Structure 1
Amino acid sequence: MLNQFPLTRWPLLMAAGSLMMLLGAWGFEYIGRYAPCALCYDQRYIHMAVIALGLASGAALIVRPNLGRFAPWALFVIAAILLYSFGFAGWHAGIEYDWWDGPATCTTAGTVSVNTADLFAALDGEIPAVMCDEAAWTLLGISMAGYNALISLGMAGVSIFVGLQGLRK
């Protein structure tokens, strides 16, 4: 199945995978009304980097086919970003499962200074108080951060595998 697409299209496929992850996160936020925490936002930026790099390198490979020899290296850079996403999302999931402490600014143990207007807005439900150590949603005991880690790891593995195949050719 991995050989169905030319090597030069794989950066675009990885960008599409990260775009699907981002659309899923936005769907949970805007349709499902699950407000993201600060670490959730940070994870989105990592996928935005994959999208940008995948689109840029994929477009370059389409416009300039003679750059095809660089496709494996683009995939390795994308894989490195996805491995970072795996680590970051895994760290966040570990915070949600109480395996380790998270940043004091977004966990229930942390102290944050707020002004009275922010406090009243939060009490009125205008500003959701979202903690990084509380999973907003789980499926089969795995949180959204946990799924992000697993999917990012899978995408990184595919990028590395396809990139290595491209180097062998």
Structure 2
Amino acid sequence: MMFPAAHRWPLFAALASALILGGAYFFQYVLHYAPCALCYDQRHIHQAVIGAGLVTGVVMHFAPGTRRFGWIACLLVGGIFAWSAGFAGWHAGIEYGWWEGPATCTNTGSTEVSMSDLNALLSGGGDPIVLCDEAAWTLFGISMAGYNALMSAGLALLSGLIAWRRA
């Protein structure tokens, strides 16, 4: 099996996260699926992959002497992808009812809403209330969080394999 060079993988990882993030924005702004609080947190993790991948990839591109540490950069982005897979898997489990989520964004939560917030929501001026325990979209029974978990786990595994082969 052909693997990309370890010093190039962080840039590919940043591109992969950018595509995943682009998909999330497509669902939000084109298909009008409003994200929940945990969805936003998942986006921040992919932003971390983009940042780490770009910084380490650019450094290794312009400073060839650092390429021998490419396996460490692969472990870094792989660790962030693993964090993403775990977090997205936790969120998917909340959506499927396997465990309870945070009280602030689930049906079981008791959040306080002010009268002005309620009036703004009823008049159409407020943001919609999006619960973390209700999947906004599914395909083949898998939610967006579930797909994020699967893609992130695959990318974490690939990052680890590249690091292991190049270490």
TM-score category (smaller protein): over 0.9
**What amino acid is the match of 2:117?**
D
Shift of 1:124: 3.1
Counterpart residue number, 1:105? 104
1:2–1:162 contact (8 Å) kept in structure 2: no
Shift of 1:117: 1.7
1:83–1:152 contact (8 Å) kept in structure 2: yes
Counterpart residue number, 1:51? 50
C-alpha distance in 2, partners of 1:129/1:60? 42
Q: When the two structures are superposed, what TM-score results if normalisation uses the length of structure 1?
A: 0.95
Instruction: Supply the RMSD in Å over aligned alpha carbons.
Output: 1.0
Counterpart residue number, 1:30? 29
**What amino acid is the match of 2:28?**
E
Residue deviations 1:9-46, cap 9 Å, x none?
10000000000010000000000100000000000000
C-alpha distance in 1, partners of 2:49/2:86? 15
Shift of 1:2: 3.7
C-alpha distance in 2, partners of 1:64/1:9? 13
Shift of 1:87: 0.6
- Please, which runs of 5 or more residues in structure 2 have no aligned partner? none
Q: State the identity as a percent.
A: 52
Counterpart residue number, 1:138? 138
Q: When the two structures are superposed, what TM-score results if normalisation uses the length of structure 2?
A: 0.96
**What amino acid is the match of 1:112?**
T
2:105–2:131 contact (8 Å) kept in structure 1: yes
C-alpha distance in 1, partners of 2:124/2:97? 26
Shift of 1:113: 1.0
